[in-house]
Structures are given as C-alpha cells and as structure tokens.
Amino acid sequence: MSVVAAVLALSPGATARAISPLPPISIAAPVPTAPVPLRVLRDEITVTCVADERGLSCDVLGRYRYGNPGRDPVRAELSVESPSPAMVPLRVRVDGRLRRLEGTRITPFDVPPGGEVTVELMGRMRLPEDYASIFFLTPALMTRHTVLGEEPLPADASRLAYLPSDPERFTEGVSGPRVHVVAPSGWRVRSPESTSASRDTAGSEAPGSPWYVALQEQAKLLYHGGPFLAAGGTFGHGFLLRAGYEVGFHPLLLGSLAVESDLSDELAVTPLFEAALPTLVFIPSLGLGLGAPIRLLPETRAGLRVQLTASLLVSFVSSFDYFPADDEWRVSLLGQIGL
C-alpha cells in the first residue's frame, strides 16, 4: 500500500534541538473492499509546500490509476484509510468528478472492460516547526536574545518529509510511485538516490526517488541576534559601559561588534568571535571568545581580548585584554542583557 507519511526530524549533527517522535501524517491509496480484477497502473504523489511562522503547510495530491484487464465490467468499491487528524480536509475525485466518502468508503463506480479510471485523493497537512524538544537545548544566540534572536541551523540540519511506499502492491513491470515536491523559499528538495533531481532554487519542482523524498531547510550564512548592553567595571580603572550588536553564524559560533567607554576619557571598539554552547534547561550557556579591542581615546592602541561568558537570560562577562604597545593587562567584569 502506498502511504504518504510526513515526519519532522533533525539530523544527528544538529545541536539546536532534538525531536521527539511524532505520529505519521498519512494519506493512503484506496484499496478494493472485495476481490476485483483491478490493477494499479500508475501512482503519483504531488506535495506542494509553503512556509510560514508555524512551519510547513503542504497540499497533498495522490493520483492513482487503476485498470480493468477483464472482459466484464467491474463495480469498484474502494476504501480509504482513515486520514490522520493532521490531514484536512480529505476530498476524493474519480475521473475528475467529486465523490462522497461514506465513512472510509468511496461511493461505488463502474469500470468498463479494458477501461481505466483515475482516483485522486486531496488533502492538506501541516508539518509543525514548533515541535517538542527532548534535550531542551537552546542555542546561545536565542538565550541571549530572547526577543529578536533567530534560531541558527547547522549546515547539515534537516527537517525531513518522508514519503515512503510499498512496491509489492504494483503489478509486475509497473514502476513504483513518482513523487513531485514543490519546495518553498529557503528549502530544497533532496533525493538520496538521485541527486540530479534536487534543485537549490526556491520554489523548484523536482521529481523524487520512488522510495522517499526529503525537504531540507537551508542553513543561512548569517542569523540575527540583537543589540546588547553591558555594564560593570575594569579593575584599577573604574566604571565600564559596553553596547553592541550580536549575530550568529552557526549554533556554536557567534560574532559581535561593541563600543565601550568609561564615560570619561576612554573609548574603544571591539570586534569579537565567540564559540558558545547551548543552554540546557537551567544550565547556562558557556562561551569563549577571541577579539581585538581597538582603543580610540585617549590614544590609539590595538590589543587582544579573551572573553568568558555565562548566559541564562542575563549574561555575565569576563574580559581579559592585553595591549602590547603599553605591555598592559586589563580585566573587566560586566553584567549584560540583550533583546
């Protein structure tokens, strides 16, 4: 029996979140309720998906071609498996004409000797993006920027839509089902058995493997984090105020540019890259950064910064700066908040 099943998942390499098992979202090919000489001649599945803030919404069209090889007409009574609650609504057409569903049965129709008939099942399924997390991991970028932060994806992260089928029900010599998937912008169609079927362009339509097709959300080069403000002090130098903007390149890699001053006579600009672990429930995200503080006032000086950060809604930052021109070390402790 051919089944369209959609199950969301993250690849094993994903660090952002892991997925808990979800029930299949399925629509099945109609089967005769009693033995009749009908043959399955063709099986096509078309999935057209659009992305929104809740995930993927996909229109599914299953097109099944049956033939009557006998010399007598056949009264076809086909039954449809009960659709998943996530598949709504379910409509049926026979040779282009709508048919009623009586429970799980399609109203009977006749197939003449040597004739063929096309049965179409139409439905819509939602592939939710806001799924349950097993490990409750939150990327550092979202921990620090709960309002504006985007969730970064690792380069190999996939949220998959599986469309398997059972080839045993096909007549000998008849190929398995053809699957066509239209991917929304920011996603691509992948087929492990036919890489030539995949296209990276948004909105492309690609014929899939007879066994399954996957939709992969493409990782971006840059993810928005948000502004941050930090206040504290530098040992031996007094008050320090820092303001900047932070972005993400990967769930474990962040970048920022900050302006800092003692609000008196010193001003500096610091670009910084940071490796940061995700937050695990109430265990804070820990980060290690490397930057280059450039002092603008009172004199121009370039230095090296090593930064340690612990984040759980609010961040606590320790900066260790070295300015070789003056052979000077500076140690700062700050509290930091972000949007």
User: 8-27 pLDDT, tens per residue?
Assistant: 222 222 222 222 223 333 45
Q: Which amino acid is at 110?
A: D
C-alpha distances in Å from residue 245, one per residue of 48, 81, 191, 255, 330: 38, 53, 39, 9, 22
Count of C-beta atoms within a 10 Å radius of residue 329:
12
For CATH 2.60.40, list the domain ranges present in the chain.
3-140+154-217
Tokens, residue 124: 């819509």
pLDDT tens profile 136-148? 788 999 999 999 9
Contact 223, 141 (CB under 8 A): yes
Residue 128: its pLDDT value, please? 53
Mention every residue, 6+ apart, whose C-beta is less than 8 A from residue 121: 27, 29, 30, 60, 61, 62, 64, 80, 90, 91, 92
Question: What are the residue ranges of CATH 2.40.160.20 in the chain?
Answer: 223-338
Q: Does domain 223-338 have CATH number 2.40.160.20?
A: yes
N-to-C CA span, the chain: 51
Comparing C-alpha atoms, which of 266, 173, 154 is closest to residue 217? Answer: 154
* pLDDT value for 231: 97
| pLDDT at site 131 | 36
Q: Which residue has the tokens 């052979």?
A: 327
Per-10-residue mean pLDDT for the chain, 339 residues long?
29 27 44 75 81 75 87 85 59 87 82 91 68 63 93 62 40 55 76 36 37 64 94 95 96 96 95 96 94 95 97 96 96 97
**CATH architecture type of domain 3-140+154-217:** Sandwich (2.60)
Q: What pLDDT sits at residue 86?
A: 54
DSSP string computed for 298-309: SS-EE-EEEEEE
pTM of the model: 0.60
Of 162, 215, 152, the residue nearest 186 (C-alpha): 215
How many CB atoms within 10 Å of residue 34?
8
What is the model's pLDDT at position 192?
Answer: 46
Strands 253-261 and 223-234, by their bridges, are unpaired
